[in-house]
Copies of this chain bind each other. A is one copy, B any other.
Amino acid sequence: MLRDRIRYRPLMDKLASADEAAAYIKDGMTVGMSGFTRAGEAKAVPLALAERARKDPLKITLLTGASLGNDLDKTLAEAHVLARRMPFQSDPGLRKAINAGEVMFIDQHLSETVEQLRTRQIKPVDIAVIEAVAITEHGGIVPTTSVGNSASFAILADKVIVELNMSQPITLEGLHDIYIPSRRPARMPIPVVTPESRVGLPYISIPPEKIVAVVVSEKHDSSASILPPDDETRAIAGNLTDFLRNEVKQGRLGYELQPLQAGIGTIANSVLHGFIDTPFHDLKMYSEVLQDSTFELFDAGKLTFASGSSITLSADMYQKVLPRLAEYKHQLILRPQEISNHPEVIRRLGLICINTALEFDIYGNVNSTHVGGTHMMNGIGGSGDFARNGFMSIFVTKSVAKNGSISSVVPMVSHVDHTEHDVDILVTEIGLADLRGLAPRERSAVIIANCVHPDYRDALQDYVDRATVRGGQTPHLIEEAFSWHDAVRTRGTMRPA
């Protein structure tokens, strides 16, 4: 069995325990680990590292694809292993350490991390820890449920630790398409011209002598923590699909639409789920993370192909999909996140991009990351790669949060991740605002009329009316622009006292 998975024989000599492998990681190192949206992360070595750090403290810079599962970010943060962390996380424990200033978190566009590494604009990766489902006859590393930044980490690091996960089905082999852009100035176009384009190798190719240890593990991926659709998310999906049906009616799109990208999480997943009961057909995805909805759309016959950088499913869906992976395989590709999120490919394919906002403002600026303008939630992830370069940039959110005490639509967002220039469509359960071709004063009228919860509509209109007296392209009362956020800070609610 193990021999079927380690097909490059010399590596049988490198079999090691997690503790032995973790010993290669020294204080002060920069470590690149596999893992993207709780899928395919190295599991045994980081746990061994955290264990060791409790007795023998050390600090590292940890780079991953995106978020890790199995509470690893929490465990590492609690063991005080993390000095620096990039480019994304979504763990409540790590979040706490970040907001306390204990961990320096560098919140990056997900397509950019390996470009910065490759050009040595950030400190190089000393060691890579990559989960694999197999090692090929020539020493190629076959990733598991995500590719993320694993390929570039392995290529750029001096030493590589492979975690061979025996619980991951061997049918994953052949799913991946590993293409790394050539070095400048001799960089050629990335040959991806459709979501289906296969342009690379099905494994990560590195000199196998860089592999210093192979650790066998059995741990499963964590299942996704998404919630099932509720009334609001169903209404958001309905508002968006109604809008897209009208785009078809107007002749601007066909029923096959353009390839879809959808961010991670409950709302985006519910929105995609909402395409099941629509006349759209022959849909394709070119996205980062493939969630439950991807497979629901496959099963409903709506989706013909999905390209992503990871597969992250609920517990039920894992049980359904993993045994049948061979059936889905011809419809799936997993790519490096540099390629799934590459500006070149995003613009070329013309993606319809659906991402989640924490809050947006009356002029169409979006905050995706900072609660109250100061405290990190998860990070920008790939939303900036997609929103800037896609065909259509859509942001979705519920109109209120915390039992209605917080409006998701505010006079001015307290942190900007997506500027007014990058936002085409805003959707809440109340309705949809189509901002394309509108000036800021026109946008505020459409947003207030269509997206705002009735409890906050008059207050926002009053703000706009008073601001407009002062004039400007984007009228504001600068001394009052954050009064809603300040009310939350001091009184816990945006509702008038």
Contacts and interface: CB of A to CB of B under 8 A. Distances in A.
A185 B194 contact: yes
A439 B384 CA distance: 18
Contact of A101 (B98, B189, B441, B482): B441
Contacts of A486: 478-479
Nearest to A122: B437
A389 B386 CA distance: 12
Interface string A360-384: 0000010001101111100010001
A472 B107 CA distance: 13
A474 B421 CA distance: 23
A414 interface: yes
Nearest to A468: B101
Contacts of A468: 101
A296 interface: no
Interface in A379-430: 380, 384, 388-389, 391-392, 414-422, 424
Q: Copy number in this complex? A: 2
B417 A421 contact: yes
A84 to B, nearest CB: 7
A419 B419 contact: yes
A497 to B, nearest CB: 15
Interface residues of A, number: 87
A106 interface: yes
Interface string A108-130: 11000001100111110000000
A471 B372 CA distance: 11
B481 A373 contact: yes
Contacts of A424: 121
Interface in A420-468: 420-422, 424, 436-439, 441-442, 467-468
A389 B191 contact: no
A184 interface: yes
B437 A121 contact: yes
A174 interface: no
Given A478-B372, A479-B486, A421 B384 contact: yes
Nearest to A420: B107
Interface string A175-203: 00000010011011111011000000000
A9 interface: no
Given A99-B471, A421-B107, A374 B123 contact: no
A412 to B, nearest CB: 8
A343 B473 contact: no
B478 A489 contact: yes
B417 A419 contact: yes
B388 A384 contact: yes
Given A419-B419, A468-B101, A473 B191 contact: no
Interface in A285-308: none
A187 B375 contact: no
Interface stretch (A36-44, A47-55, A264-272, A347-355): A347-355
A99 B419 CA distance: 19
A483 to B, nearest CB: 8
A106 B439 contact: yes
Contacts of A346: 343
A484 to B, nearest CB: 10
A375 B416 contact: no
Contacts of A194: 185
A306 to B, nearest CB: 16
A257 to B, nearest CB: 11
A184 B342 CA distance: 17
Contacts of A250: 120
A105 interface: yes
A304 B187 CA distance: 20
B416 A419 contact: yes
Contacts of A252: 119-121
A436 B380 contact: no
Interface of A: 84, 86, 98-101, 104-109, 115-116, 119-123, 181, 184-185, 187-191, 193-194, 250-252, 258, 342-344, 346-350, 365, 369-370, 372-376, 380, 384, 388-389, 391-392, 414-422, 424, 436-439, 441-442, 467-468, 470-476, 478-479, 481-482, 485-486, 489
14 contacts: A101-B441, A119-B391, A120-B251, A181-B348, A185-B350, A187-B348, A189-B344, A343-B389, A370-B474, A376-B473, A388-B389, A414-B478, A478-B485, A481-B482
5 A-B pairs with least C-beta separation: A189-B189, A374-B472, A416-B416, A376-B473, A104-B439
Given A122-B437, A372-B472, A374-B475, 4 more contacts: A121-B392, A187-B193, A374-B478, A375-B472
